[in-house]
Amino acid sequence: GGFFYFLGGPRPTKEPVRTVLRPSKKFFLGRSDCFSNPFFLCSRHFFFSCFPHKYVYFRLCALSLKIFRFRVYLFTFVCERKMSTLRVSLCQMAVEKSKESNLSKAVGMIAAAAKRGSNLAVLPECFMCPYGTKYFDEYAEEIRPGCPTYDSISKVAKESNIWVVAGSMPERSGGKLYNSSMVFDSAGNLRHVHRKVHLFQIHSETVQMDEGEVLTAGNTAIPVSMNDKIKFGVGICFDVRYPPLAWKYAQEGTSFLVYPGAFNMFTGPIHWELSARARAMDNQQYVLLCSPARDPNAEYVAWGHSMVTDPLGRVIATAEEGEAYVDAELDFDLIKDARKRIPIIDGTRNDIYSLRWQ
Amino acid sequence: GGFFYFLGGPRPTKEPVRTVLRPSKKFFLGRSDCFSNPFFLCSRHFFFSCFPHKYVYFRLCALSLKIFRFRVYLFTFVCERKMSTLRVSLCQMAVEKSKESNLSKAVGMIAAAAKRGSNLAVLPECFMCPYGTKYFDEYAEEIRPGCPTYDSISKVAKESNIWVVAGSMPERSGGKLYNSSMVFDSAGNLRHVHRKVHLFQIHSETVQMDEGEVLTAGNTAIPVSMNDKIKFGVGICFDVRYPPLAWKYAQEGTSFLVYPGAFNMFTGPIHWELSARARAMDNQQYVLLCSPARDPNAEYVAWGHSMVTDPLGRVIATAEEGEAYVDAELDFDLIKDARKRIPIIDGTRNDIYSLRWQ
């Protein structure tokens, strides 16, 4: 037995919650993953570089473990808020006609987000395909290894050690087309596919569109579990307009909702921010909307203004219309705080009404 | 037989859609009610005074009728939008400690709204009682003829020929207290009572409140039919935060939602307008929020800012915090227009999810 001294792991440029432990006097090598391990082992150096958030505090903790035949006494810093924050980057990328260029740009923006310390990157709706019913069939791919879009995003997620909500793409499956979002974890594994449940229609003077002409709608809304503490829900664009979908996710314990979307110059100014704020306020959780950058020459001109709203429905980060990142730190303790102050969720009258899904 | 010339009816100060027809050459006296009669008979004078809305248009229509033994040829103006507008006044009244003063003020504001041509007056939450759990028992009344609040509002509704959503009052019934809203029609008949379904709680640094300490919650949300065309839903304050309640009303065909409410200085700035706009956008209908005027010396300081939002979620009329009327004309054709442009309601996935109420 004896005391160990732990060097800091590599500087956490990619996934700040994981490091390699190197003891100085005994043979011991291990990994500590903040998301799965209740005690986060780290050096002072690592700790400070990892959690610069102004609210982060910590305490010194003594811990005795029996590992194989060694009795190990560890002095560790326990991060009090270790489960409660997540860094996200919305990649408001300019989508072009070339699929290869789009994939290359998406990969670059995801890698750059990881370099800045983000845990999750979000791409916009139709990130590899111009938005428009006439393009979907030509650009569509299956969602499986060996397909270019799947392979590109899986690879960068793994290499950059970052979760990715891959906006959306036209998905070909069983002779049908869907507007689908792939979710990859930081090991590059496909963890979820959300197929747009509410197909978009618009009939204004300047914009005409009916996705139902070529797409089939999805029928499910299932949260993604990042770990045993953090769940999130994915919707695509028009899905954000439907309280039942957000309600279903919230009932299943999500902490944030991610909507890749492409509102236009008619719906953008009147409803983009309002939708984000409304879903956040109603469900008392974070909402992330990621749009393509605006291309005034495109057939369908996206509004831009990707944004993150907090559990009180306030905009905490946003962009203008050009190509941009929207970075934000989600502090999940603020969900508890909002729900304590204004008990909307606790006040839901589950005794008199309920949502039935299929 | 021959042509009739119709004088205009009385100037429509109370209910602009009703007038008396006076033919100039033959003996004929009748009433035409715009809400029930498919052809609205009116003179040019009446027509213009009745529908000043900028979108109103009309056409000349020839009609042949056999009335008793006369064959009557009428040239009438048919108002294309005759079913589609309603004038509303939100009465943002300053509530005092004296119930008598409050009732008197409410009656005066309703009568004044009718004089300006409104078809519906709305009072704020707790219009006859200071807002606060400690006051409810003392001020509570039953909802029946013979009780002061019932009698006062019924009488002015009838005398002024105006519908009234009587904000809310502490209601005593079966040994319990409710936060309830009475709805009277323009003949002074009680048409509906809504008991607040979601009791309010707040635990912020500056405001503490828990209605559940003294109140019992209602369990129903049933629309009120003004006639065979126009329905509306009533919620009270915290009810506005719950999409399922608005969703239920919308499914049953409402055109507008009325929420007497008293947000405070914490929730008012962040959520009052956002709630009104969100419920209007989601359900593509008008939303009316009526607050008491702000009294900085009250135990519970109301936010004020009564407002009306349109079916696209835009604020079309609002007040500051002082005593005020918010007058607006609801044009129900704009609901059809909004739903045609952005088919949110048509896109609801009733095939996969549904709301069950009890």
Q: Answer whether A355 sits within 8 Å of B353, measured CB to CB.
A: yes
| Residues 6 or more apart in contact with residue B357 via CB below 8 angstroms | A352, A353, B221, B244, B248
pLDDT for B336-346, tens place per residue? 999 999 999 99
- Which pTM was predicted? 0.80
What's the pLDDT score for residue B307? 98
| Residues 6 or more apart in contact with residue B111 via CB below 8 angstroms | B156, B159, B160
Of the spans A70-84, A107-121, B21-35, B37-51, which averages the highest pLDDT?
A107-121
Copy the structure tokens of residue B295: 């009294």
Residue of A272, A341, A348 to mutate, testing the B interface (most B Cβ within 10 Å of its Cβ): A341
Asked about B125 being catalytic, the answer comes back as yes
pLDDT for A80-129, tens place per residue? 444 589 999 999 999 999 999 999 999 999 999 999 999 999 999 999 99
pLDDT for A47-65, tens place per residue? 222 333 333 334 444 455 5
Q: Answer whether B352 sits within 8 Å of A357, measured CB to CB.
A: yes
Distance separating alpha carbons of residues B90 and B236, to the nearest angstrom: 14
What is the mean predicted confidence (pLDDT) over B99-104? 98
Nearest-10 crossing angle of helices A243-251, A273-283: 40
Candidate from A51-60, A206-215, A331-340 with smallest mean pLDDT? A51-60
- Mean per-residue pLDDT of chain B: 83
What is the mean predicted confidence (pLDDT) over B279-283? 98
Q: Percent helix, strand, coil in chain B (nearest 5)?
A: 25, 30, 45
Whether residue A234 is predicted with pLDDT greater than 90 in this model: the reply is: yes
Domains and CATH numbers, chain B: 85-347 (3.60.110.10)
Whether residue B129 is predicted with pLDDT greater than 50 in this model: the reply is: yes
Whether residue B73 is predicted with pLDDT greater than 50 in this model: the reply is: no
pLDDT for A10-48, tens place per residue? 333 333 333 344 443 332 333 333 323 333 333 322 222
What's the pLDDT score for residue A358? 87
Nearest Cβ partner of A270 from B244, B313, B346?
B313
Confidence of residue B58 (pLDDT cuts 50, 70, 90): very low
Chain B residues in contact with A270 (beta carbon < 8 A): 312-314
What's the pLDDT score for residue B143? 98
What is the mean predicted confidence (pLDDT) over A283-298? 97
What's the pLDDT score for residue A38? 33
Give the β-pairing of B307-309 and A324-331. unpaired
Whether residue A318 is predicted with pLDDT greater than 60 in this model: the reply is: yes
Element (H, E) at A267: helix A267-267
Residue of A196, A197, A352 to mutate, testing the B interface (most B Cβ within 10 Å of its Cβ): A352
C-alpha B171 chain-centroid distance: 20
Nearest Cβ partner of B198 from A203, A204, A349?
A349
Candidate from A66-75, A179-188, A228-237, B302-311 with smallest mean pLDDT? A66-75
Whether residue A1 is predicted with pLDDT greater than 60 in this model: the reply is: no
Distance separating alpha carbons of residues B56 and B331, to the nearest angstrom: 10
* Cβ count within 10 A of residue A235: 26
Nearest CA in chain B to A202: B342
What's the pLDDT score for residue B69? 43
Q: How many helices (H) and strands (E) does chain A have?
A: 8, 19
Residues of chain A with pLDDT > 90: what percent? 75
Nearest to B246 by CA among B309, B327, B156, B315: B309
- Is ipTM over 0.95? no
Min Cα distance B220 → chain A (Å) is: 8
Nearest to B194 by CA among B172, B173, B220: B220
Candidate from A335-344, B34-43, B349-358 with smallest mean pLDDT? B34-43
Whether residue B72 is predicted with pLDDT greater than 90 in this model: the reply is: no
Asked about B26 being catalytic, the answer comes back as no
The one catalytic residue among B15, B196, B273, B321? B196
pLDDT for B169-187, tens place per residue? 999 999 999 999 999 999 9
Nearest Cβ partner of B341 from A202, A248, A358?
A202
Distance separating alpha carbons of residues B45 and B10, to the nearest angstrom: 10
Candidate from A251-265, B72-86, B104-118 with smallest mean pLDDT? B72-86
Which residues of A carry out catalysis?
125, 196, 237
